[in-house]
Chains A and B, each alone.
Chain A
Amino acid sequence: QKEVEQNSGPLSVPEGAIASLNCTYSDRGSQSFFWYRQYSGKSPELIMSIYSNGDKEDGRFTAQLNKASQYVSLLIRDSQPSDSATYLCAVGGNEKLTFGTGTRLTIIP
């Protein structure tokens, strides 16, 4: 069974610092990778998608993918209180995504 594992957290980071979220996956053939943010009581929303090895930057967010190590990460620079949420890593197969259990991030003002 395909597995996606995330650092369990919870993770607390001071405002303005860099938050680092990590995810490993078991299916070496996976081709698509996603980070979702989920506020309490809300549905998941896409933060970043990445398909190729290396870094992908979007504003304060950077996704990093290393297929050889089966590892994907999300860096949040200049963390803001509004970044406090649960972050879900998802790995794509042909027809569906497999989600990790999520990492709860709290930004401390």
Chain B
Amino acid sequence: NAGVTQTPKFRILKIGQSMTLQCTQDMNHNYMYWYRQDPGMGLKLIYYSVGAGITDKGEVPNGYNVSRSTTEDFPLRLELAAPSQTSVYFCASTGRGGQETQYFGPGTRLLVL
């Protein structure tokens, strides 16, 4: 099992550009999450999904979009990148929502200049 994989590992974007962060899990988990982590800070939830076709906003959704067409994939779309979106992005998955541990991908480091 590869667990949770994320691509790319690192990306530099110019202000106003768009990109998609990819996340795939092979554990057949229904729940998937996107977090951002700013330096010295904890994890802030951007969006999450409780199953294919179902997504919901977290605490910091502005500037992002998600889709969940399959159980395995949960891409995060950044439209019109801004310097405030410079961060490390983690994708995570779990089988039982808030009742069991989440498994994290290795992260994507994004720099917006």
By DSSP majority rule, is chain B's interface helix, strand, loop, or mixed?
mixed
Q: How far is the CA of A95 from the CA of B51 in the complex (A)?
A: 11
In the complex, A46 has a CB within 8 A of chain B:
yes
In the complex, B99 has a CB within 8 A of chain A:
yes
Q: How far is the CA of A94 from the CA of B99 in the complex (A)?
A: 7
Q: What does the 1/0 interface line of B12-44 toward A look like (CB < 8 Å)?
A: 000000000000000000010101000001110
User: When A and B form their complex, what is the total count of cross-chain residue pairs whose Cβ atoms lie within 8 Å?
Assistant: 54
Contacts of A95 in B (CB 8 A): 31, 48, 50, 56, 97-98
Which residues does B use to contact A, with CB under 8 Å? 31, 33, 35, 41-43, 45, 48, 50, 56, 58-59, 90, 97-102, 104-107
Which residues does A use to contact B, with CB under 8 Å? 1, 31-32, 34, 42-46, 49, 88, 92-97, 99-102
> Which 9 residue pairs are nearest across A and B when measured between Cβ atoms?
A92-B98, A101-B42, A43-B104, A95-B97, A93-B98, A99-B43, A46-B101, A99-B42, A102-B42
24 pairs of residues in contact across A and B, judged by CB atoms under 8 Å: A31-B99, A32-B100, A42-B106, A43-B106, A44-B90, A46-B101, A49-B100, A88-B42, A88-B43, A92-B97, A92-B98, A92-B99, A93-B98, A94-B97, A95-B48, A95-B50, A96-B45, A96-B48, A96-B97, A96-B98, A97-B98, A99-B35, A101-B42, A102-B41
